[in-house]
Every structure is written in structure tokens, then in C-alpha cells.
Structure 1
Amino acid sequence: RTVLRWYRQQGRTLPWRNITNPYRILVSEIMLQQTQVSRVLVKYPEFLRRFPSIRKLAAAWQKDVVIAWRGMGYNNRAVRLHRLAQEVVNKHNGVLPDTYETLAQLPGVGRYTANALLVSAFRRDVPIVDVNVRRVLSRIFWRMKSTLETRSEEEIWELAGRLLPSRNAYAWNQALMDLGAMVCTARTPRCDVCPAAALCASRKTARQARPSPTKREPAKDGIPNRIYRGRIIEALRRQNGQRRIGLDLLGRAIHPQYSPKHRPWLDSLMVGLEKDGLIRRSRIERWGKQRIALA
């Protein structure tokens, strides 16, 4: 009750809350994967103006969806969202399914997204566990030794299911997510203003920890390959999906010191982007004569 009271008074006001339009909620959930809320708040209304319904999205060219995704990062989410829309139109008559089993079979929909849709769009009483909820429940119910420590995902899903109130699981789930986003934050929790402080097992035991070293990822000249992937898509967006670009011209657009000796590295990026369904390449044997466009 204390947490729900705090949520009613302090919870975030977001455009995808307190609505039951399944399509609009779907778009918000896909956008919120790995993207900050502040950025989604900007792109969400723009995207909905461009694609106001799931049928409009399904009927669009994929390259137009990727172009509209500009600034969101992780562009393969746009591809999956487009494919999801097409599947819903083709197999479900344009109506987003309302069962977990069917939702979980759609492209880009896992356990969290399926349950989030069931709760937000269909008001089902099921738990939602994201990184915020996992952190909040870990700290409240177990004695965490540091701010980086959490319990396993399976443990938290099981606990979240047992904690569900008999009514209004929607507000409860949103409250837990907001508590994690606003108060029980990853590195510097604000225990002094937390509505659950009196119940928290970790309040006096969890010491603030330095973040562990980030895992090294494939990079070129100190810049991760995922950044170069994003630059490639952005360069192709600037063509509005209409023109193909030669491999070397694209290389110079994404790397100031690019030269033909970098072709094998650039080609490896193209292989990944093509596998993800983001680009299409002309099949010319000589690397320098490849021509690339958004898929």
C-alpha cells in the first residue's frame, strides 16, 4: 500500500501509460528496450504520426521504418517491429494477440515484452520483471552486499508472481518500475526517500560499488563495431533509401582514415547487417564494386 500510495503521488507521467491501445503500447515497449525514456519521449510521437496503426506499419517499406527509427539506436529493433506488424496483419487480422503463448511467438517478443503487453494493453494480472524491478525486489527481500548485486532473474520472476496484488496489477507493476528508475537506482539509491525503506533488507548492508569493468567488444581504432554499424545505417538513411552506395564511399563516410585495406573489416560489418535484415548488397565479386542500400 505504501508503494502504491507513493506511485499515485510521485509516479512518472508517460504517454504510453493509462491507455489500452495495444499498438501504441507495443511501439513503446519495443522502443524502451535499451533506450532511455527521455529519448523515447521524443521519438514515440514522431513514429506514431508516421505509422499511426499496425496496418500502416505493416504496409510500409522496411527501409522507411528504419529511416523513421533514426536516433533510437539498435536498428534491428525496427526490423523486428516491422516484421511483427506484418505477422499480426497476416496471421491475426491486424489484432494483437492477447495470450502469452501467441505473443511470445511474435518477432522480438520475449517474456518481459509479452507480459508487459498483457498487463498494459489487456489489464491481465501477471508480473513484469525488468532491470529496475529485479534490482528493487533483490534489495528489499535479500541482503545485498553491494549496489551491483542482484538475485537471479528466475528467482525474481517467481517472487514477483507471488507479490502480485489481487487487483490492479497494472499500477503495482508500474510502481515497482518507477521505484527502480527514480529512487532505488543502480549506483546511488536514494534510501532516505524510499517508501519501502522500512522493509528493505539491504538498506544498511549494500555498499555503493564501483561498476565492474565493461566487457571488451569488437572494435576498430578504439571505437566499438556497433558504433560503426550505426554510422553505416545513418549514412544509408541520408540517401532516403533510394540510392545504393559503393563500399569504399560508405567506408569513407564512417571512418575518417578509411582506405581500401580496410575492406575486409568493412565487409565483415556488412555481413552482420545483412544477416540482421538491415541492408542489401549487390552481388559483385570485387569488394570495391559492392553497392549497398537499406533493405
Structure 2
Amino acid sequence: MPRSLASPPQLRPDGAAGLHGRVTAWYASNARDLPWRAPDRTPWGVMVSEFMLQQTPVVRVLPVWREWMERWPEPAGLAAEPAGEALRAWGRLGYPRRALRLHAAAQRIVENHGGRVPASHGDLLALPGVGGYTAAAISSFAFGNPETVVDTNIRRVHARLVGGSALPEPAYTAAEARRAAELMPDPGPDGGALANAWNAAVMELGALVCTARAPRCGECPVLDACAWVAAGRPEPHYVPKGQAWAGTDRQVRGALMGVLRASDDPVPRDALLSVPGAVPAGGSPLPPGGPDGSAGRDGSTGPDRPSWPAGTSPEAAPAWARLAELPAGGEQRRRCLEGLLADGLAHEGPAGVALPH
């Protein structure tokens, strides 16, 4: 029998067991066909997906995950490469420290676990970059261990379905953790198949139906059991803060990283710190338009187009263009570059700045 629920008065008479069956049945018919869910998935593939999916939507992760797995199908392959190659392959997924941590985790897996992703929650938690959620998710989705998995989507479904609130608390609370544990199916003698199906199903329900801004309640398999709907869909008890992007240090750091990923050789510091549109020290304007003489993305040609260091390849020009288009002055660029160096995302030597060795 499922664990008894300590109380949510809003839970309907069919209780947790009824929710389990209805939500997992919906998932069986509506789940997205994602490669890290395929029958032939590997624990490493699941682990890579969990790192990439942190704060990044599936649509952006899919092509990068496929390229990554083709290049490094096992942890040992990544561990043998320089950390800079992990950053280069990470592309524009954002939050590139995840790539460094995944690279470090691969090395630890080779050193301590014979090149195989460990199955236990404790061993996973000891790996670089693996926190409580990631350890539980890998243990559950890769190995079938009945861990309680709680991400933002799951928290939102729990808040509405059982708690009657439009949104979960701004930060994960002990009360939410207790509720998630109480809602988990009992592992039973089968080793937790239903428990793990519940984790995946609630996560998918939050991603596809019980979304933050425009929930599609008419498609919900447990609409009649939803405490939030029964309460008249009250407004959130706080206003979520959006995460700014334009003009922020995060945007500038991302543009600087884009240039380093696209450059085979170290980049002179002065070039990275030049104001938009100026000819970097030691550089020279490109021919009108792009390095191949073509018009820019805005159709412009001629001397007013931003310039790049001499010898910039056509492949690297778009990254330089994205950096040049930012209204970031030299001081902001300098601050962001120093931050990248301090975080180990870049390395500076006599020849200039490059990805770490």
C-alpha cells in the first residue's frame, strides 16, 4: 500500500493510489520520445542529460546531447580530453560551469568507479556537480532505484494538486520535501517500478500540462482531484522574479565564451575588451561584410561594420559579431573576463586567453 499521507485535506477520496495510477497511465500514452528515456539508454547518457537539463529546455538540449554522446559515449572518453573540449562541446547551452563539473565527474568516475556511473545515491552525491536532485534523478531514471525526485515541475504539480497553491514556494522547503516523500508509491516487492514511473510521470505532467504560466487543465488526467482547481484557481501568493538577460554580466560572459569556443588559438586580451565596433588592438577590419566578403546579418557592408582581430576565420566571425553587438563597455567586459578566469572557464597565457587546457 502507498505511504499514508500526513494530511493534505485537499486530497480526494481515491487518495495517493488513485493519483499514481491515473498519472502514470497518462504518462504511458503522452510521454515525449526522448533518447535518455529510451530502452537502450545508458546511465552515462542519463547523467549527461541531467546535467544539461538544469535550467535549460529540452529543445535546446537535444542536439547538444546527441553530439556529446556520439563523441563521448562513455565517461572515460570525456575524462581523457582537456576540460576546454568539454566547454567547446557544451556550445551555447549556458551555465558552462556545468560542463566543467561534468568533466570533473567523468574523471572521478574513471578513477573511483572503473569508468561506470555509480548506482547508489551516496556515491552519486560524492561526484563533482551532483547535488541532491541530480543524484536522486540518476539513481531513479538510470538504475530504477526508488528515490524521491523533486524538480521545479514536480514541485508545481504537487503544490497545485495537493496543496491548492498556484505555485510552489520560492525556495524548496522541508514541508515540500515531506509532501513529495509522502506522495511516493511504496517501492514494494517489484523494486520500485511504480515509484520511478511516478517520478517521470509527474515531471512530464508539469512540463507539458501543468505549466507555470498557462496550464492546460482540460488535458490533465487528475483535474477532478486538483485542490487548486477546486479552490477556484487562486492567484500565486507571490510574484515570481524573472531572470534578466539583456545587458547583464551573464550575457557578456556568454558572448566572451562564444568567442573562445570558436577560436582555435588564444585570443589577445585587448581584442576581447575592445568596445563594440572598434578595431581591437593588433587587429584589422574585415573586408566589407563578413570575412568572405558577404553582407552581415543586418545586410550591412563597408567600414562601419564591427571589426575582429586579423586572421579571424569565417567560422569564428558570428561569435565575434555577437560580442560586438553588445552595448557592453570595457569595464563590464573586463569584469566578466576576470570572472571567467577566476571560475576556471578560461585560461590566460602569454599568447592570450583560451579555453582551459
TM-score > 0.5 by shorter chain:
yes
Q: Report the equivalent of 1:33.
A: 54
Shift of 1:74: 1.3
Shift of 1:216: 6.4
User: What displacement does 1:191 show?
Assistant: 1.4
Q: Which amino acid aligns with 2:342?
A: K
- Structure 2 counterpart SS, 1:16: helix
TM-superposition CA deviations, 1:147-179 (whole Å, max 9, x none):
345484432222222222234122111100011
2:254 counterpart residue number = 230
Measure the CA separation in 1 of the matches of 2:168 and 2:182. 22
* Same amino acid, percent of matched pairs: 36
Cα distance, 1:3 vs structure 2: 0.9
1:214 aligns with 2:214: no
Moved over 6 A (4+): none
| Shift of residue 82, structure 1, vs aligned partner | 0.5
Aligned to 2:355: 294
Tell me the distance in 2 between the aligned counterparts of 1:40 and 1:215: 20
1:178 equivalenced with 2:200 (yes/no)? no
Aligned length: 279
For structure 1, list consecutive stretches of 5 or more residues without a partner in the other structure. Answer: 284-289
- Pairwise CA distance, 1:142: 1.4
Please give the per-residue CA displacement for 1:112-162, whole angstroms capped at 9, x wherever unaligned: 100001101111011100000000001111121xx3454844322222222
Q: Secondary structure at the match of 1:281?
A: strand
2:308 equivalent to 1:247: no
CA contact (8 A) 1:88 1:96 kept: yes
C-alpha spacing 1:18/1:75, structure 2 compared with 1 (3 Å) = same
The one of 327, 333, 341 aligned to 1:274: 341
Distance 1:216 1:183, change over 3 A: closer
SS of residue paired to 2:91? coil
Give 5+ residue unaligned stretches, structure 2: 1-20, 275-319
- Does residue 157 in structure 1 map to residue 177 in structure 2? yes
Q: Which amino acid aligns with 2:355?
A: L
When residues 23 and 184 of structure 1 are mapped into structure 2, their CA distance, relative to the original with a 3 A threshold, is same
Q: Tell me which of 125, 143, 157 is aligned to 2:164.
A: 143
Whether the 8 Å contact between 1:133 and 1:177 is mirrored in structure 2 is yes
- The reply on whether 1:91 has 2:109 as its aligned counterpart is no
Provide closer, same or farther for how the CA distance between residues 89 and 200 of structure 1 changes in structure 2, counting only shifts above 3 A: same
The structure carrying a bigger helix percent of its residues is 1
Of 80-89 and 151-160, the range deviating more from structure 2 = 151-160
Aligned residue among 148, 153, 158 for 1:132: 153
Superposition RMSD on alpha carbons, in Å?
Answer: 2.3
Whole-Å separation in 2 of the counterparts to 1:108 and 1:80? 5
1:56 and 2:84 correspond: no
TM-score when normalising by structure 2? 0.72
